[in-house]
Amino acid sequence: MNAAVLTIGDELLQGFTIDTNSSWLGTTLLPYNIKISKKVAIGDNLNDIISETQYILNDKFDLLFVTGGLGPTHDDITKEAFRQFLDDELIFDESYYTQLIHHFEKRSIKMPESNRSQAMLLKTADVIPNENGTALGMHILIKDTHTFIMPGVPGEMKSMVKNHILPKYIKKSPVENSITIKTAGIMESHLAEKVNGLMENYSHSYRYAFLPHYSGVSFRINKLNKIDNLQDVKDEFYKAMLPYAYGINNDTLEKVLGLKLIKNNYTIATAESCTGGLIGKRLTDTAGSSEYFLGSVTAYSNQLKSSLLNIPNDIINTLGAVNEEVALKMAKGVRAKTGADIGISTTGISGPEGGTKTKPVGLVYIGVVTPEKSMVKKYNFNYGRHIHREMTTTAALNITRLAIEKN
Amino acid sequence: MNAAVLTIGDELLQGFTIDTNSSWLGTTLLPYNIKISKKVAIGDNLNDIISETQYILNDKFDLLFVTGGLGPTHDDITKEAFRQFLDDELIFDESYYTQLIHHFEKRSIKMPESNRSQAMLLKTADVIPNENGTALGMHILIKDTHTFIMPGVPGEMKSMVKNHILPKYIKKSPVENSITIKTAGIMESHLAEKVNGLMENYSHSYRYAFLPHYSGVSFRINKLNKIDNLQDVKDEFYKAMLPYAYGINNDTLEKVLGLKLIKNNYTIATAESCTGGLIGKRLTDTAGSSEYFLGSVTAYSNQLKSSLLNIPNDIINTLGAVNEEVALKMAKGVRAKTGADIGISTTGISGPEGGTKTKPVGLVYIGVVTPEKSMVKKYNFNYGRHIHREMTTTAALNITRLAIEKN
């Protein structure tokens, strides 16, 4: 099936909001054999919405996903545009209006009068429920194009697609045409060297893409023919990418590490300096992480390094806070303080200030102490403050994963 | 000036790459009074490129920015599409070919034969140099539309725009036509109620947009006429949005809070449970935060709440960990432990598991203790784990900002 996406909203055009909805739609719909071949973004302008919808529909797409402009304010005009385009009517839905009032009451908020507009619905449309917000979605078959009108808020749009549009209108089971192998701890070009031979071998029936991020390089394999066995080919690539490969598709490093901790019956705690709490945050992104994550101590000031993690003051006074010994003592300190099996620590210079000739911005030491071993690794991630913290966190999680794996 | 953007590439449509180029163009061009009113993304398909270019040009845009499809591989067909569309010729540029060979030699890489295609240029185009790559850009005046064809690699595209297109073809100085007011702690519809009158008053010469995020609602004001005083109008709106308005444009809540802490000579520390370290992470996103941020204790397990933050075990055993008293004691505990002037705490149920009838998923208590006052606020942010943590963190930073502001 061939699909188009029409996103509506000035903020997307002016660049104040980055459109992540349409890429989510792209990857989510692909396994259902729905290929997006056109995306159009326009502003909150009635005539533009009407004329672009007309132009897109001329191309006889099977599906059209429209997002945005369903909010309660004056610039939300998507419904009015479709009313005019379809020569339809907007009908006031009394029972949904009552629901809306209850929704606000439950939150002890008086419903603003403007929200009344969210109970106005196109007469010819089927309603698509919204579990995460107040703007209902709509489905209309326009000639042969199933048109879905949804809010632009990502969480609301996604749950409409997953919980309603796919089961009710698409009714197919997803088929996997592509797999992404996730890696950490290796550069794109070095990863490519490891699999050049394999890529060559399978080039007649698979396509590949390297997707480098600061948190690791992903490698996507697309199969071209239905009959080929994607799983087997993935397994070969995966093996060639070990120990850097840690998972596939939506696996995250923190989730994979969490499963390994559970398997080993290990608890974990972090002692953070330059990462400011980000490792703890990433570890607790995973639901159920309370099973292994006990907590963390962010000792940003040197004084807290000593009072909360028992780093002797004279070490910091002599060597400074960014060195191998402090990293090791921080990891050991948080282990002792929390009783966790594994302690992770970071101490580094995220910048932009604070660098010296011997300790430049970007320098970081990561400590990992497990019941079996202690280690400190030194890196220089000099790509700006934010990336420094992201890369340090990823490296810390990955070192810990490898430390347990080798058990 | 009115502009359109055409991005070319299967990767963008399938969603494996998120398009950040066009939002960069949006915010970068706006001060030059260039307004993007349409963006179209299509795949690497010759006919689609030709027909979409034609359709866009029908609308008589002043400027058209085309990105992507200038690489050396077989699916890079942008030049061929424009050759056909313009009935133009592709000319081999001998001197650029020599440059290309040198470029590869300098890197000790043999130039792949396919790169020869990058020395083929449209006869009617002016060349736009590429300081960061091998694909040249092109400028063609098609009827009255200045059309810029650029590579899709963000770094290459951006430097072409900044170093060549703006100085050579736009030739204007940037002017601030819009200001964004950032708010926290108020819903979009309630914020709208506060400024409806003002919006009405200035509707002849300003345009507005509400941009809701989980971390707060932004309100953007665009001026339509050169002569109007954007600053004065912004000040009126800002005043009407107090105390929710906290800054403008690129200000972040954590940065604004940081400046207030410095002004009051206050230090701060956090005691986190459900946020897992995210408040500390956000506070340290700001460079120079070591001036006021001492550190944090993430006590994810109940045991650490007692051993690291001195919450009496019997309180947790009787009342559980998610309640007003524990929140207050956590904030006081981290203040005592770190010596910080201000302690922030969070304890809540981010979900998806862990909810009960009396303490549902989404419930959270946020404690803030300053030298002058202590407070605990209760919220229910039941929008999924990630959003729960984002909203809790934003609320915590905002409550703290307000607590200091009222001094």
The ipTM value here is 0.81
Residue A42 forms beta bridges with which residues? A8, B38
The answer to whether the bond into B112 is cis (omega within 30° of 0) is no
Answer yes or no: do A75 and B220 touch at CB < 8 A.
no
Of residues A18, A72, A290, nearest to B23 (C-beta): A18
Query: Any CB–CB contact under 8 A between A308 and chain B?
Result: yes
Are A30 and B15 a contacting pair at CB < 8 A? Answer: yes
| Least reliable range by pLDDT among A9-18, A296-305, A311-320, B358-367 | A9-18
Residues of A in contact with B4 (CB under 8 A): none
For residue A22, the distance in angstroms to the closest alpha carbon of chain B comes to 7
Pull the structure tokens for residue A123. 């007469």
Task: Show residues of chain A in contact with B25, CB under 8 Å.
Answer: 15
Percent share of chain B, pLDDT over 70: 100
Give residue B212's pLDDT.
84
Q: What is the rounded CA–CA span in Å between residue B4 and residue B147?
A: 10
For residue A226 the two structure tokens come to: 């239905």
B20-49 per-position pLDDT tens digit: 899 899 989 988 989 999 999 999 899 999
Cβ atoms of A200 and A170 within 8 Å: the answer is no
Q: 3-state SS of B277-331?
A: CHHHHHHCCCCCHHHCEEEEEEECCHHHHHHHHCCCHHHHHHHCCCCHHHHHHHH
Question: Pick from A75, A278, A297: which is nearest to B281 by CB?
Answer: A278
Q: How many CB atoms lie within 10 A of CB B174?
A: 13
Please report the pLDDT score of residue B13 as a whole number: 87
DSSP-assigned letter for residue B154: H
Using left for φ > 0, alpha for ψ between -120 and 50, and beta otherwise, residue A119 falls in: alpha
- Predicted confidence (pLDDT) per residue in B314-351, tens digit: 999 999 999 999 999 999 999 999 999 999 999 999 99
Q: Which two tokens stand for residue B180?
A: 């964004």
- B31 chain-A contacts, CB cut-off 8 A: none
Interstrand relation of B342-348 and B268-272 (parallel, antiparallel or unpaired): parallel
- Quote the minimal CA–CA distance from A332 to chain B in Å: 16
Q: Which of B11, B26, B339 sits opposite A14 (nearest CB)?
A: B26
Provide the CB-side half-sphere exposure for A287 (13 A, CA).
13
**What pLDDT, on a 0 to 100 scale, did the predictor assign at position B171?**
87
B192:A73 CB<8 A: yes
The pLDDT value given to residue A16: 75
A171's tokens:
């009714």
Taking contacts as CB-CB distances below 8 angstroms, the residues of chain A near B297 are: 295-298, 308
Within 10 angstroms of residue B287's Cβ, the number of other Cβ atoms is 16
- Residue A60 CB coordination number (10 Å): 10
pLDDT digits (tens, 9 = 90+) for A244-271: 999 999 899 999 999 999 999 999 999 9
Whether the link from the prior residue into B312 is cis, omega within 30° of 0, is no
pLDDT in tens, B154-195: 889 999 999 999 999 998 888 888 899 999 999 988 999 999
What is the predicted pLDDT for the residue at A407? 54
Backbone angles phi, psi at B146, to 5 degrees: -75, 115
Q: What is the pLDDT of residue B285?
A: 97
CA A61, chain centre distance (Å): 29
d(CA A119, CA A98): 9
Mean pLDDT, rounded, for B143-163? 94
CB neighbourhood size of B293 (10 A): 26
- The beta-carbon neighbor of A10 closest among B13, B41, B209 is B209
Q: What residue type is assigned to position A195 of the chain?
A: V
Q: Which of B297, B302, B337, B393 to mutate to test the interface with A (most CBs of A within 10 A)?
A: B297
What pLDDT is stored for residue B64 in this prediction? 98
Interchain proximity A281–B284, CB inside 8 Å = no
| Rounded Cα gap, residues B224 and A146, in angstroms | 38
Chain A residues touching B385 at Cβ < 8 A: 285, 287
Q: Is A252 on the interface with B (CB under 8 A)?
A: no
Residue B407 has pLDDT above 70, yes or no: no
Mean pLDDT in residue range A214-240:
90
* B301 interfacial to chain A (CB closer than 8 Å): yes
Q: Tell me how close the Cα of B310 comes to any Cα of chain A, in angstroms.
A: 13
Per-residue model confidence as pLDDT tens digits over A390-404 = 999 999 999 999 999
The reply to whether B39 touches chain A by the CB within 8 Å rule is yes
Q: What does the CA dihedral B142, B144, B148, B149 come to, rounded to 10 degrees?
A: -20
Q: What is the mean pLDDT of residues A283-304?
A: 97
Residue of B336, B337, B398, B402 lying closest to B373 (CA atoms): B402
B361 at the A interface (CB within 8 A)? no
Contact B209 A11 (CB under 8 A): yes
The values of phi and psi at residue A205, to 5°, are -130, 5
DSSP H or E run through B141: strand B137-142
A19 CB within 8 Å of a chain B CB? yes
**CB-defined contacts A:B, below 8 A:** 265
Mapped to the 3 state alphabet, what secondary structure does B341-372 carry? CEEEEEEECCCCCCCCCCCCCCEEEEEEECCC
Residue B356: pLDDT over 70:
yes
Domains defined for chain B, CATH in brackets: 2-170 (3.40.980.10), 178-248 (3.30.70.2860), 253-405 (3.90.950.20)
Distance from CA of A104 to the nearest CA of B (A): 12
**Residue A129 DSSP label:** -
* pLDDT of the residue at B406: 62
Task: Residue B325: count other Cβ atoms within 10 Å of its Cβ.
Answer: 17
pLDDT at residue A64, as a whole number: 98
Query: Mean pLDDT throughout B97-126?
Result: 86
Q: What is the dihedral of CA B106, B107, B109, B114, to 10 degrees?
A: -80
Backbone angles phi, psi at B239, to 5 degrees: -60, -40
Residue contact B294–A279, C-beta within 8 A:
no
Residues 199-228 of chain B with CB under 8 A from chain A are 207-212, 218, 220
Given a contact cutoff of 8 angstroms between Cβ atoms, the answer to whether A57 and B31 are in contact is no
Instruction: Mutate one of A6, A14, A20, A49 to test the B interface: name it (highest B CB count within 10 A).
Output: A14
Check residue A241 and give its pLDDT: 98
Let me know: does A81 contact A46? Beta carbons within 8 Å: yes
Q: Say whether B276 and A294 touch across the interface (CB within 8 A).
A: no
Which of the four pLDDT bands, split at 50, 70 and 90, describes residue A122? very high
Mutate to test the interface with A, among B14, B178, B392 (most CBs of A within 10 A): B14
The mean per-residue pLDDT over the stretch A236-246 comes to 97
Contacts of B268 in chain A (CB under 8 A): none
Nearest to B301 among A285, A290, A351 (CB): A290
Mean pLDDT to the nearest integer, A228-246: 95
Cβ neighbours for A354, distance < 8 A, ≥ 6 positions apart: A361
- Whether omega for the bond prior to residue B129 falls within 30 degrees of 0, making it cis, is no
Radius of gyration of chain B (CA): 27
Cα A90–A92–A98 angle (5° rounding)?
150
Judged by CB atoms closer than 8 Å, whether chains meet at B290 and A296 is answered as no
Average pLDDT along chain A: 93
10 Å CB burial of residue A58 (0-12, 13-18, 19+) is exposed
Mark yes or no for CB contact A351/B287 under 8 Å. Answer: yes
Among candidates B99, B173, B172, B163, which has minimal Cα distance to B135? B99
Contact residues, chain A, for B302 at CB < 8 Å: none
CB contact B374 to A (< 8 Å): no
d(CA A304, CA A311): 9
Interchain CB distance below 8 Å, A153 and B212: yes
Rounded CA-CA distance A107/A96 in Å is 17
Query: Got the DSSP string for A151-190?
Result: -SSHHHHHHHIIIIIIIIII-------EEEEEE-SS-HHH
Length of chain A (residues):
407
Residue A309 scores a pLDDT above 80: yes
Distances in Å between the alpha carbon of B353 and those of A158, A289, A291, B279, B384? 21, 11, 12, 22, 11
Q: What pLDDT shows up at residue A90?
A: 95
Confirm or reject contact between B118 and chain A (CB < 8 A).
Answer: no
What is the per-residue pLDDT across A50-73, written as a single tens digit (0 to 9) for each?
999 999 999 999 999 999 999 887
Task: Identify all chain B residues contacting A35, using CB atoms and an 8 Å cutoff.
Answer: 13-14
Instruction: Summarize pLDDT for A136-189 with one digit per residue, the tens.
Output: 999 999 999 999 999 998 989 999 999 999 999 998 888 888 899 999 998 877
The pLDDT of residue A359 is 95
- Asked if the Cβ–Cβ distance from B303 to A294 is below 8 Å, we say yes
Interface of B with A in 269-298 (CB under 8 A): 270, 272, 275-281, 283-285, 287-290, 293-298
**Is residue B323 less than 8 Å (CB to CB) from chain A?**
no
* Chain A residues in contact with B207 (beta carbon < 8 A): 10
